[in-house]
């Protein structure tokens, strides 16, 4: 069986951090499309709700994302169904369209999809037992959840190539050195520190935070002159917002 994490949304008061928690399940092929649909529903809800200030991705259990059983890749249609479900639902496009900060809080294994999800976030915390990996190259594939593009944006090209091509397991401290995560802390402190970061972000003026996020990401995708113009536009928008 391929083991993944199913997502559910926990209800929180208005203006509190929006948490996307994940319960570990064994997903059969027919559940994959539903899982992707659920993620999309959550993200669309976040985009439509002006009261959401921050999104936090967490996982119950020992691992953020234990990944798939590589023995099944290439021998069962489930891997293709999984990727079709992701692309068909455009999870990654929705993630990039979330205007509020997104935080990933990882423990244990963060493999494949989980690592790629974290790379789409704006701030990443890892417990000291966290291990990250993109295993696709071992079985003749490349990451198809955005990692080939996001790794070189959050770190550098050399680190991105080494991670994708070698498919090594990367310890949390090494991930911090490579720029893949922003903080490494003891497992026991992960939840409290995540809540602290989330509540700090949620306490900032919403328009300012959204504008700042948009301006920084514009620097990744736009030429410098155009990015500077975009920064000025966003700064004026933030100042004019109540």
Q: Catalytic residue positions? A: 116, 136
Rounded distance, CA 168 to CA 162, Å?
8
Among 6, 8, 40, 197, residue whose Cα is nearest residue 105 = 197
Rounded distance, CA 177 to CA 127, Å?
14
Q: 91 φ, ψ to 5°? A: -60, -45
DSSP 10: E
How big is the CA angle at 14 (ends 8 and 17), to the nearest 5 degrees? 55
Rounded distance, CA 45 to CA 179, Å?
30
Strands 183-185 and 131-133: unpaired
Q: Where are the alpha helices (DSSP H) in the chain?
A: 29-48, 78-89, 91-96, 113-119, 147-154, 157-166, 172-178, 190-203, 206-221, 224-240
Q: Is 145 left (phi over 0), alpha (psi -120 to 50) or beta?
A: alpha
Q: How far is CA 171 from CA 106, 126, 202, in A?
A: 12, 10, 30
């Amino acid at each position: 069986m391929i083991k993944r994490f199913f997502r559910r949304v926990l209800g929180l008061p208005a203006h509190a951090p929006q948490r996307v928690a994940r319960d570990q399940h064994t997903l059969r092929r027919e559940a994959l499309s539903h899982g992707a649909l659920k993620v999309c529903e959550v993200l669309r809800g976040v985009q439509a709700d002006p009261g959401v200030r921050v999104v936090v991705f967490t996982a119950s259990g020992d691992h953020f994302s234990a990944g798939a059983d590589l023995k099944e890749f290439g021998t069962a249609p489930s891997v293709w169904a999984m990727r079709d479900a992701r692309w068909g639902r455009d999870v990654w496009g929705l993630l990039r369209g979330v205007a509020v900060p997104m935080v990933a809080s990882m423990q244990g294994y963060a493999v494949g999809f989980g690592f790629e999800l974290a790379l789409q976030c704006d701030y990443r915390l890892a417990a000291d037992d966290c291990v990250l990996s993109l295993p696709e190259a071992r079985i003749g594939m490349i990451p198809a959840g955005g990692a080939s593009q996001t790794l070189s944006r959050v770190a550098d090209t050399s680190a991105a190539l080494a991670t994708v091509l070698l498919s090594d397991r990367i310890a949390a401290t090494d991930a911090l050195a490579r720029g893949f995560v922003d903080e490494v802390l003891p497992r026991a402190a992960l939840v409290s520190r995540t809540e602290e970061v989330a509540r700090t972000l949620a306490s900032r003026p919403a328009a300012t935070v959204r504008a700042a996020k948009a301006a920084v990401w514009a620097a990744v995708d736009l030429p410098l002159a155009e990015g500077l113009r975009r920064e000025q536009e966003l700064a004026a928008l933030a100042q004019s917002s109540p």
